[in-house]
C-alpha cells in the first residue's frame, strides 16, 4: 500500500466512489460501478461541462441511441478501420496481430491484405511468442465494436457506439435547421460509449464501457477565426508541440495568441478549445502543474485531421494520461456520411452580393438528335456537355468511339447567371472528453495525506464545486436540543438544493475525519453558544480553520463558498 493508485482505489471502494461491477458474481474487467459519491461527483463534473459548453458556448445537447445501425459505422470507418486482423498461434495459443507478424517476416503491404492472403503469407513464419512455425492459421477480424442484432432473427446488424460523436453527424441536417442555417454552430452529447478492448487494464483508465462528453463545432472551412478568441488570447499553459517532442524538448508555456500566430496551433478554433479545456479541467480539480497539452505527431495524426492535441493529466501510477482530445477533423466526417447516405450535408453560404458568372451551356436539339441517334440520343446529349468544339462540330466520345456531332444538332449559349451563394461542407472542430479519466485524474491528484495531532489525516481536496457532500452538519452533543437545531439547519440547507449531511455519531474529531476523507469541503458545528448567540462554527476542510457564522447567514455563506463567490480564507 505505498502507491497512490492503491490508496485512492481503496478509498474509492470503501467510501462509495467507484468499485468493480457486480462483485457478487465476480466482476468483469473493463466495467466499473460508480457508487453513491462517485455518481454524484460524476454528475457535478458533467454539470460543469454543460455550464461551459451548453450554457456558455451555446452548443445544445442532444441524446442519441447507444446502438447504431451498421451504415453509420461503415461511413465513420469504424467497421473497417476499428478492427485488427488477428490470429491465434496453434502451438502456444497466443493471440497475435497477423499484420504485425507478416511485417516482421518481411511481407510487404500486410496491412491491406485480406484475411485469406494473410493466412497464407504468415503460415511459414515463426510465432513471435513461442518461435514455432505457425503453419495452418486462421486470420480473423477482431472488431473493437460490440456487435448486436436489431429486432428478432438476424436481419439487421447494430453496433454499440464506440463514440458519441457520430450522432452529431447523422443529425447534421436537422441541427443545421435548428440553428437556422448559419455557421458556426455546435452540438454536444454526453453519454456512454463502448469498446471491446482486448485487455483492459489500468483501473478506470481503459474501460469497455465509458462516458464521453463530445462537442462537434461546425465551422466555415475558410473562417477559422473564433469570434470570441480574445477571451483566451492571453491565456497561457504548457504546450508540447510535435516539434518540441521531436527535439526531445519539454513543453513550452505559451499564450494562445502566440501559439496561433507562430503556427503551433493550427487555428483559433483549436486554440480556443484548448484553452477552454484547460480552464474546465482546472475548475474540476485537475492540478495545473499536472496538466499539459500534447500535439499529435505527424504519424499519429489521422490523415484527414488538420491538427490534434491531447490534454494529458499526470498520474503517479500511469504517467501522462490522454484525457481529452481536441481535433480539427476538417470535412472528413460529413463527407463520409454524405457519401454513404447519399444525403447532402452542406450549408448554403450566401454571397454578400450575387456573383455574375459566365457559363457556357450546350443545348442539344433533341428534335434532330432523336431521329438520327435513336436510343443513343440521350447519351449523345449528355456527352455534348463535355464536348470539345471545332468548326466541324462537337467532338464527343461515346461507347469508346469518337464521334463528331454536326453543329446544327446543338446550340452553344454563353450566358451570364447570377449565383447567390455556394454549398459548403463545414469543417468540424471536435473536443472529446473522457469523463471517467477526468474523474480518475481528479481523485488521484486531489488525494492527500497530512498530519493532524500526530495522526495521518486522509483528505480528498476536491474543489467545493465538485464535492459530492457539500457541507456536514454536526451537533457537538446529541442532547440539550443541539441535535434538533442541527437537524433543522440541515433541512433548511437541503431545501436550497445543498447536499448537506447530518452526522451525530461519535466524537466530533472522528466526524471531521470522516468528512475529510470523502472530500466534504465544509462542516458546520452546533455547540452551546449556538443556543446563546445564534451562531455556529464553520470549518474548512483544507486548513481545518474555523469561523463563527450566524445561523441566519448560513445558507448564503455556504452557497457563496460552493460557487466560488467567496473564499474561506477571506472570512478568517
Residues at the site binding RNA, with contacts judged by CB under 7 A: 1, 10, 13-14, 20, 26-29, 81-82, 84, 92-97, 100, 128-129, 144, 162-163, 195, 197-199, 201-203, 206, 302, 317, 452-453, 455-458, 476-478, 505-510, 512-514, 516-517, 525-527, 536-537, 539, 544-546
Minimum Å gap between C-beta 531 and RNA is 12
Minimum Å gap between C-beta 516 and RNA is 7
Contact between 45 and 438 (Cβ < 8 Å): yes
Q: State which residue, 110 or 275, has the beta carbon closest to RNA.
A: 110
Minimum Å gap between C-beta 419 and RNA is 40
Q: What cell numbers appear for 387 in the block?
A: 464536348
Orientation angle between helical segments 435-446 and 36-50, nearest 10 degrees: 110
Q: State which residue, 96 or 464, has the beta carbon closest to RNA.
A: 96
Nearest to 470 by CA among 399, 424, 524: 524
Q: State which residue, 210 or 232, has the beta carbon closest to RNA.
A: 210
* Number of other residues whose CB lies within 10 A of the CB of residue 377: 17
| Distance between CA atoms of residues 471 and 537, nearest Å | 12
Query: What's the burial of 284, exposed, middle or buried (CB within 10 Å: 0-12/13-18/19+)?
Result: buried
DSSP state of 133: B
Q: State which residue, 256 or 489, has the beta carbon closest to RNA.
A: 489
Give, for 501, the enclosing helix (H) or strand (E): strand 500-502
Minimum Å gap between C-beta 481 and RNA is 13
Question: Residues with Cβ < 8 Å from 476, sequence gap 6 or more?
Answer: 482, 508, 525, 526, 527, 528
Minimum Å gap between C-beta 246 and RNA is 19
Q: State which residue, 333 or 516, has the beta carbon closest to RNA.
A: 516
Contact between 18 and 35 (Cβ < 8 Å): yes
Q: What cell numbers appear for 452 in the block?
A: 493532524
Task: Name residue, grid cell 451555446.
Answer: 58
Q: State which residue, 195 or 337, has the beta carbon closest to RNA.
A: 195
Report the DSSP beta bridge partners of residue 350.
421
Q: State which residue, 3 or 382, has the beta carbon closest to RNA.
A: 3
Question: Residues with Cβ < 8 Å from 539, sequence gap 6 or more?
Answer: 512, 522, 523, 524, 525, 545, 546
Query: What's the burial of 51, exposed, middle or buried (CB within 10 Å: 0-12/13-18/19+)?
Result: middle
Minimum Å gap between C-beta 454 and RNA is 8
Q: State which residue, 89 or 405, has the beta carbon closest to RNA.
A: 89
Minimum Å gap between C-beta 514 and RNA is 5
Q: State which residue, 128 or 221, has the beta carbon closest to RNA.
A: 128
Q: State which residue, 470 or 520, has the beta carbon closest to RNA.
A: 520
Minimum Å gap between C-beta 530 and RNA is 7
Minimum Å gap between C-beta 533 and RNA is 11
Minimum Å gap between C-beta 479 and RNA is 7
Please tell me whether residue 47 adopts helix, strand or coil conformation: helix
Nearest to 409 by CA among 450, 368, 442, 441: 368
Q: State which residue, 76 or 346, has the beta carbon closest to RNA.
A: 76
Minimum Å gap between C-beta 313 and RNA is 15
Minimum Å gap between C-beta 128 and RNA is 7
Minimum Å gap between C-beta 33 and RNA is 12
| Distance between CA atoms of residues 428 and 220, nearest Å | 9
HEC string of 365-413 equals CHHHHHHHHHHHHHHHHHHHCCCEEECCEEEEEECCEEEEECHHHEEEE
Nearest to 110 by CA among 89, 85, 80: 85
Minimum Å gap between C-beta 526 and RNA is 7
| Distance between CA atoms of residues 444 and 204, nearest Å | 11
Contact between 217 and 246 (Cβ < 8 Å): no
Task: Name residue, grid cell 477552454.
Answer: 276
Q: State which residue, 366 or 544, has the beta carbon closest to RNA.
A: 544
Q: State which residue, 163 or 328, has the beta carbon closest to RNA.
A: 163
Q: State which residue, 246 or 533, has the beta carbon closest to RNA.
A: 533
- R_g (Cα) of the chain, nearest Å: 32
| Distance between CA atoms of residues 485 and 98, nearest Å | 70
Amino acid at each position: 500500500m505505498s502507491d497512490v493508485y492503491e490508496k485512492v482505489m481503496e478509498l474509492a471502494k470503501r467510501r462509495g466512489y467507484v468499485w468493480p461491477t457486480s462483485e457478487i458474481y465476480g466482476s468483469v474487467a473493463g466495467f466499473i460501478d460508480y457508487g453513491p459519491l462517485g455518481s454524484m461527483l460524476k454528475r457535478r463534473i458533467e454539470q460543469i461541462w454543460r455550464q461551459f459548453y451548453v450554457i456558455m458556448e451555446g452548443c445544445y445537447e442532444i441524446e442519441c441511441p447507444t446502438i447504431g445501425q451498421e451504415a453509420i459505422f461503415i461511413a465513420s470507418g469504424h467497421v473497417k478501420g476499428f478492427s485488427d486482423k488477428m490470429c491465434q498461434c496453434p502451438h502456444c495459443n497466443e493471440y497475435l496481430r497477423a499484420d504485425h507478424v507478416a511485417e516482421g517476416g518481411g511481407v510487404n503491404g500486410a496491412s491491406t491484405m485480406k484475411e485469406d492472403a494473410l493466412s497464407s503469407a504468415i503460415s511459414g513464419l515463426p510465432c513471435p511468442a513461442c518461435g514455432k512455425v505457425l503453419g495452418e492459421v486462421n486470420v480473423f477480424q477482431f472488431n473493437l465494436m460490440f456487435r448486436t442484432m436489431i429486432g428478432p432473427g438476424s436481419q439487421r446488424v447494430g453496433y454499440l457506439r464506440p463514440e458519441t460523436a457520430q450522432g452529431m453527424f447523422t443529425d447534421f441536417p436537422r441541427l443545421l435547421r435548428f440553428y437556422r442555417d448559419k455557421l458556426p454552430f455546435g452540438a454536444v452529447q454526453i453519454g456512454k460509449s463502448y469498446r471491446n478492448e482486448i485487455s483492459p487494464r489500468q483501473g478506470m483508465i481503459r474501460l469497455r464501457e465509458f462516458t464521453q462528453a463530445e462537442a462537434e463545432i461546425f465551422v466555415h472551412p475558410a473562417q477559422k477565426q473564433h469570434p470570441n478568441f480574445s477571451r483566451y488570447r492571453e491565456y497561457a499553459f504548457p504546450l508540447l508541440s510535435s516539434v518540441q517532442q521531436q527535439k526531445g524538448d519539454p513543453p513550452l508555456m505559451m499564450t494562445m495568441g502566440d501559439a496561433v500566430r507562430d503556427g503551433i496551433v493550427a487555428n483559433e478554433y483549436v486554440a480556443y478549445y484548448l484553452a477552454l479545456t484547460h480552464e474546465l479541467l482546472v475548475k474540476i480539480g485537475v492540478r495545473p502543474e499536472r496538466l499539459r497539452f500534447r500535439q499529435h505527431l505527424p504519424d499519429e495524426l489521422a490523415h484527414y485531421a488538420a491538427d490534434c492535441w491531447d490534454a494529458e493529466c499526470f498520474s503517479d501510477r500511469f504517467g501522462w494520461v490522454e484525457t481529452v482530445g481536441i481535433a480539427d477533423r476538417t470535412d472528413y466526417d460529413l463527407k463520409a456520411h454524405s457519401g454513404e447516405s447519399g444525403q447532402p450535408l452542406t450549408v448554403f453560404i450566401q454571397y454578400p452580393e450575387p456573383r455574375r458568372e459566365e457559363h457556357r451551356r450546350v443545348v442539344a436539339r433533341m428534335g434532330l438528335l432523336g431521329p438520327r441517334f435513336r436510343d443513343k440520343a440521350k447519351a449523345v446529349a449528355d456527352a455534348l456537355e463535355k464536348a470539345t468544339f471545332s468548326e466541324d462540330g462537337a467532338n464527343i466520345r461515346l461507347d469508346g468511339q469518337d464521334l463528331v456531332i454536326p453543329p446544327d444538332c446543338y446550340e452553344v449559349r454563353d450566358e451570364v447567371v447570377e449565383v447567390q451563394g455556394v454549398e459548403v461542407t463545414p469543417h468540424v472542430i471536435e473536443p472529446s472528453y473522457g469523463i471517467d479519466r477526468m474523474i480518475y485524474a481528479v481523485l488521484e491528484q486531489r488525494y492527500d495525506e497530512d498530519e493532524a495531532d500526530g495522526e495521518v489525516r486522509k483528505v480528498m481536496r476536491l474543489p467545493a464545486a465538485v464535492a459530492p457532500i457539500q457541507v456536514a452538519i454536526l451537533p457537538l452533543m446529541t442532547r440539550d436540543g443541539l441535535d434538533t437545531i442541527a437537524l433543522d439547519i440541515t433541512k433548511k440547507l437541503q431545501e436550497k438544493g445543498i447536499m448537506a449531511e447530518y452526522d451525530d455519531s461519535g466524537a466530533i474529531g472522528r466526524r471531521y475525519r470522516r468528512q475529510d476523507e470523502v472530500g466534504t469541503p465544509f462542516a458546520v458545528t452546533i455547540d452551546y453558544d449556538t443556543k446563546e448567540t445564534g451562531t455556529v462554527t464553520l470549518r474548512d476542510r483544507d486548513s481545518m480553520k474555523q469561523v463563527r457564522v450566524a445561523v441566519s447567514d448560513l445558507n448564503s455563506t455556504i452557497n457563496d463558498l460552493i460557487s466560488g463567490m467567496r473564499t474561506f480564507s477571506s472570512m478568517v
